[in-house]
Amino acid sequence: MKFIPLFKVRDMRIALHHYTEVLDFNMTWPEDTIDSPVIDLGHAETELQITTHESERLFGSVVNVWVENVDDLFARYKSRGLDSSAKPNSPVHQGPVDQTWGRREFYVTDPDGNTLRFCQDV
């Protein structure tokens, strides 16, 4: 079984900037363009689709993303312009946090309310 999340986005240009220039995703389908209603993205073994053509109820999706080192990854994203100011009262958006359930995590929420939860076992 394989899961490929589909995130609804309001503006494809803004979303593509976020996922491909700040985070580590690349467009994976050769026919996709900035004007495509659905764009396939990938990074290593991870896949994601973003779309401007789905119902409003898709806003606010969450995906757990398991990684080797959340601290290094967070530092890399911050150096590329990751802005966490929209969630000032959420420590897990401000940097990696050791959770009581045995994971070290940080969250990245895109401009459309979709959240990637980057996780590693403590």
What's the pTM? 0.74
Comparing CA positions, the residue from 43, 35, 46, 40 lying closest to residue 7 is 40
Is residue 46 within 8 A of residue 69, CB to CB? The reply is: no
The torsion angles phi and psi of 28, rounded to 5 degrees, stand at -110, -15
pLDDT in tens, the chain (122 residues): 466 887 889 899 999 999 999 999 999 999 999 999 999 999 988 899 998 886 555 567 888 888 999 999 999 999 999 998 989 999 999 999 999 989 999 999 998 888 899 999 99
Pairing status of strand 38-43 against strand 62-66? unpaired
* Residue 47 CB partners (closer than 8 Å, separation 6+): 2, 4, 28, 40, 41
Residue 86 CB coordination number (10 Å): 11
The domains found in the chain, sorted by start residue, are 6-121 (3.10.180.10)
